[in-house]
């Protein structure tokens, strides 16, 4: 009986350890922090190393479907659709995320990123910053699926 209980317990731990991140596979409507208008739909994907990335699936603002002309390196002049804007985001527990980066396609700049799932999973509160979090901007994304 003890062996069965131990085996079930270990199985439960294995399932828990391999559980996908809550953001994995979810889509979010980005909201511009200045205009308060929806900009794009992005989708999160969990990588093999456990970090999260997010790529633009659809552009919601007419006239902004073009290439990332201000982006540098491999993103320069790439289409915004399919562009990876979030990289390396790590689950810190309790619905919090940290140590990621976010690309702002309008400026071409990359910022450090942290975030928090809010409002029962309906919102994602993000903070992009340079250096320390007090030097940054907030955005709240709305769950799209």
Domain span at 127: 21-143
Domain count, the chain: 1
Predicted local distance difference test score (pLDDT) of residue 1: 52
Residue 143: its H or E element: strand 136-143
Residue 9 is assigned to a structural domain of this protein = no
Burial state string for 55-77 with b = 16 or more CB within 10 A and e = fewer than 16: bbeebeeeeeeeebeebeeebee
pLDDT top residue among 43 and 37:
43
Q: Any idea what the CATH number is for the domain that residue 33 is in?
A: 2.40.128.520
- Does residue 31 surpass a pLDDT of 60? yes
Residue 14 is assigned to a structural domain of this protein = no
Residue 118 is assigned to a structural domain of this protein = yes
Residue 15 is assigned to a structural domain of this protein = no
* pLDDT tens string 58-111: 999 877 767 788 888 888 888 899 999 999 999 999 999 999 999 998 889 999
Mean pLDDT along residues 44-55 = 97
- Does residue 132 surpass a pLDDT of 50? yes
Predicted local distance difference test score (pLDDT) of residue 19: 61
Residue 1 is assigned to a structural domain of this protein = no
Confidence class for position 145, pLDDT limits 50, 70, 90 = confident
What burial class does residue 78 get, using C-beta atoms within 10 Å of its C-beta: 0-12 exposed, 13-18 middle, 19+ buried?
A: middle
Residue 92 is assigned to a structural domain of this protein = yes
Residue 10 is assigned to a structural domain of this protein = no
Whole-angstrom distance, CA of residue 26 vs CA of residue 97: 15
User: pTM of the prediction?
Assistant: 0.82
Mean pLDDT of the chain: 85
Confidence class for position 27, pLDDT limits 50, 70, 90 = very high
């Amino acid at each position: 009986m003890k062996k069965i209980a131990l085996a079930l317990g270990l199985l439960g731990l294995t399932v828990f350890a391999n559980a996908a991140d809550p953001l994995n596979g979810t889509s979010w409507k980005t909201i511009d922090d200045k205009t308060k208008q929806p900009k794009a739909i992005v989708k999160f994907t969990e990588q093999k190393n456990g970090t999260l990335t997010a790529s633009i699936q659809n552009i919601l603002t007419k006239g902004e479907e073009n290439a990332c002309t201000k982006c540098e390196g491999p993103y320069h002049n790439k289409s915004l659709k399919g562009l990876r804007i979030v990289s390396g985001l790590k689950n810190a527990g309790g619905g919090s995320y940290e140590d990621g980066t976010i690309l702002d396609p309008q400026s071409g700049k990359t910022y450090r990123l942290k975030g928090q799932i809010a409002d029962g999973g309906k919102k994602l509160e993000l903070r992009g910053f340079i250096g320390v979090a007090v030097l940054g901007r907030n955005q709240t994304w709305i769950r799209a699926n």
